[in-house]
Amino acid sequence: MSDDDVDHELLALMRQKFSLGGANPNAPPETKVLEHAQFIYDNSIDVAISMAHTKLAAIAVSEEMQKREYSTKTWSEHELHPKAKDEATVNFIFTMDLLNFSFWSLRGEEERFTVDYKGKKWTGYWSLVAALQRALEEGIPITSPEFWIDGGEDEQEVRRSDGTATEVMKSASWKDREAPRLPKESFNTGVYPDPPAPRLPNESFDAGVYSDLPSSQQPTASEANVTANVHDGGIEVSDEKTFEDQQDDDSDVWVDALEAQDQEAVGPEQSPKPKEEELVTPQRVRCTEDVLRHVFRSSTNEEIPMFNLRVHCLREAGRVLHDHFDGSVVTLVQDAKGSAAGLVNLLADRFACFKDESTYETKKVRFLKRAQIFVADLWAAFEGEGCGEFNDIDKITMFADYRVPHIMHSLGLISYCPPLEGRIRRGEIIESGHSWEVQIRGCSIWAIELLRREILKIQPNAKVNAILLDFFLYDLAKEKEKAGEEALPHHRTRSIWY
Ligand SMILES: Nc1nc2c(c(CN[C@H]3C=C[C@H](O)[C@@H]3O)cn2[C@@H]2O[C@H](COP(=O)(O)O)[C@@H](O)[C@H]2O)c(=O)[nH]1
């Protein structure tokens, strides 16, 4: 064979080994999370999986899940989870999983971020769910993507004071809009009046940029990413708060205007009471930082961790949904055409704040925890139907956070090398992207896969997948935490990813 001849055998081998020549467009979507988890486990030196404990746990966990009739139905039985199978629930779950990270606190139970709702005090993940439910009850559309982009609608409904006639008024531009004159008491009901128009002309909003930042300060996509990706594979609160600083300025403007309005309302020369026939400005809220601080207010003096990055996640997601999915989460879900892996990949490709990846031994590895838990929550909330119907749901893995690895360690499924266990026991933070953090996350995903396989060996007809195992272990962890049965604390990483 001369040098010019093509060695077709070698080419076929290379194509097969490196899937060269373009991926097969008809191949079903894959997230590669489980493949990467196995790679991490095969190359891990600081985290181990005990097959003996895995076999024992397979018996205990499958028996307990059967006893509790643990299924997708369990999801909606939680007091705070939405029950309806409708678009509002799709939006609720998306909002929840957009912000579903880093609730742990260095403070004690009495001091940590806490949300009072329905007569109870909620912490951790449940504080987020409670805050969202509370906001909706207060009339704040916190689960609406259009609300997040802070530009508000171009149209606003203006009701007559007798509530009968309604006319839709197209506001020429936010700049021209009058600050509303609402009687003071409406403010106290927690229903916020519109803040004064931002200082930008409407066109800056139409340009699809954040509406309340002077264009000179708009975070470009890469800047926003840089803000969002301060650390490889993870994220920390960044100092560059051009975006947030501007938010502070705007909210000051609004607070000043409201105080002036209050003065007006309570000053000696009472502003004339609005005449009955006058139109009452609609009680519509805009997504300013003050409104978000109200949504996530705590009954202790610790604010919700990483508040600025949560605001960033909402703004980014609102803008991406507005620009690419006509502002609708349902459209986003439908674009995945019934594939769970496809929807996970869509989230990771389109939303920086879902792109939960890291590197291990110079190889890029994917965890995609919040993208996967969004699909899993949809599947469970809709019991596998409608927006929760996926033809490949078993491709979803365990969600690599800080809570489930914690219970897996206490069950003996995973164990840590002494230096790592010491670090965790001392409550010292492990940097996001650190090899130890990546090994804990990857080995936890792989351990759940081994547990699932062991359960199917003893019960071939068991209706179990990584999602239900994960949900069950999370709920079990919370029960043990409540009962004070925690041996080792969970590992601590401040990260937007989980
Ligand atoms: N792997 C995994 N991680 C989960 C959950 C959930 C809640 N899922 C609900 C839906 C179905 C289940 O039945 C649950 O009722 C929250 N988290 C994560 O934990 C952390 C919060 O912990 P703590 O501060 O202690 O509340 C944070 O990273 C959060 O993202 C889960 O299920 N699996």
164 vs 321, higher pLDDT: 321
10 Å Cβ neighbour count for 133? Answer: 22
Percent of the chain residues topping a pLDDT of 70: 68
pLDDT reading at 334 higher than 60: yes
Ligand 1 pocket, mutate which of 401, 467, 496 (most atoms under 8 A from CB): 401
Is 351 in contact with 362 (CB distance < 8 Å)?
no
Has 401 been annotated as catalytic? yes
Cβ of 492 closer than 6 Å to ligand 1, yes or no, is no
| Confidence band for 195, pLDDT divided at 50, 70 and 90 | very low
pLDDT reading at 74 higher than 60: yes
87 vs 186, higher pLDDT: 87
Ligand 1 pocket, mutate which of 81, 125, 304 (most atoms under 8 A from CB): 125
Is 453 in contact with 446 (CB distance < 8 Å)?
no
Q: Tell how far CA 377 is from the center of its chain.
A: 11
Q: For ligand 1, atom 2, which residue shows the shortest CA distance?
A: 399
| Confidence band for 5, pLDDT divided at 50, 70 and 90 | confident
Cβ of 374 closer than 6 Å to ligand 1, yes or no, is no
d(CA 472, CA 71): 9
ipTM of the complex as predicted: 0.99
158 vs 121, higher pLDDT: 121
d(CA 336, CA 393): 12
Distance 372 CA to ligand 1 centre (A): 12
Lowest mean pLDDT among 66-70, 232-236, 472-476: 232-236
4 vs 317, higher pLDDT: 317
pLDDT reading at 487 higher than 50: yes
Of the residues 326, 401, 470, 475, which is catalytic?
A: 401
Predicted confidence at residue 8, as pLDDT, reads 66
Is 465 in contact with 396 (CB distance < 8 Å)?
yes
Predicted confidence at residue 171, as pLDDT, reads 35
- What ranges make up the beta strands (E) of 7-122? 47-49, 115-117, 120-122
Cβ of 378 closer than 6 Å to ligand 1, yes or no, is no
Q: For ligand 1, atom 32, which residue shows the shortest CA distance?
A: 471
pLDDT reading at 106 higher than 70: yes
pLDDT reading at 226 higher than 90: no
Distance 119 CA to ligand 1 centre (A): 22
Lowest mean pLDDT among 20-34, 36-50, 205-219, 373-387: 205-219
Predicted confidence at residue 485, as pLDDT, reads 79
Predicted confidence at residue 368, as pLDDT, reads 98
DSSP states of 363-402: EEEE--HHHHHHHHHHHHHTTTSGGG--TTGGG-----SS
- What ranges make up the beta strands (E) of 348-464? 357-360, 363-366, 414-416
What tens digit of pLDDT does each residue of 342-354 get? 999 999 999 999 9
What is the average pLDDT across 241-256? 41
pLDDT reading at 375 higher than 50: yes
Q: For ligand 1, atom 1, which residue shows the shortest CA distance?
A: 399
Cβ of 402 closer than 6 Å to ligand 1, yes or no, is yes
| Residue whose C-alpha is closest to residue 255's, from 211, 295, 294, 218 | 294
69 vs 223, higher pLDDT: 69
Residues 6 or more apart from 4 whose CB is under 8 A from it?
none
What tens digit of pLDDT does each residue of 457-477 get? 999 999 999 999 999 999 999
Lowest mean pLDDT among 101-105, 158-162, 449-453: 158-162
Distance 107 CA to ligand 1 centre (A): 20
Is 317 in contact with 98 (CB distance < 8 Å)?
yes
What tens digit of pLDDT does each residue of 282-324 get? 556 889 999 999 999 999 999 999 999 999 999 999 999 999 9
| Confidence band for 407, pLDDT divided at 50, 70 and 90 | very high
Percent of the chain residues topping a pLDDT of 90: 64
Distance 403 CA to ligand 1 centre (A): 7
d(CA 264, CA 185): 13
d(CA 297, CA 85): 28
Lowest mean pLDDT among 80-94, 239-253, 290-304: 239-253
| Residue whose C-alpha is closest to residue 330's, from 76, 88, 152 | 88
Residue with the two structure tokens 């790679």? 39
Three-class DSSP category at 429:
strand
d(CA 466, CA 447): 10
Cβ of 404 closer than 6 Å to ligand 1, yes or no, is yes
Predicted confidence at residue 11, as pLDDT, reads 65
Burial 80-112 (b: 16+ CB within 10 A, else e): bbbeebeeebbbbbbbbbbbbbbbbbeeeeeeb
Cβ of 92 closer than 6 Å to ligand 1, yes or no, is no
pLDDT reading at 53 higher than 80: yes
What tens digit of pLDDT does each residue of 391-405 get? 999 999 999 999 999
Q: Which atom of ligand 1 is nearest to the CA of 127?
A: 26
Length of the chain (residues):
498
What is the average pLDDT across 87-100? 98
Q: For ligand 1, atom 23, which residue shows the shortest CA distance?
A: 124
pLDDT reading at 52 higher than 90: yes
What tens digit of pLDDT does each residue of 132-146 get? 999 999 999 999 999
pLDDT reading at 274 higher than 90: no
Cβ of 474 closer than 6 Å to ligand 1, yes or no, is yes
Which two three-digit tokens encode residue 250? 């705007």
Cβ of 192 closer than 6 Å to ligand 1, yes or no, is no
Cβ of 100 closer than 6 Å to ligand 1, yes or no, is yes
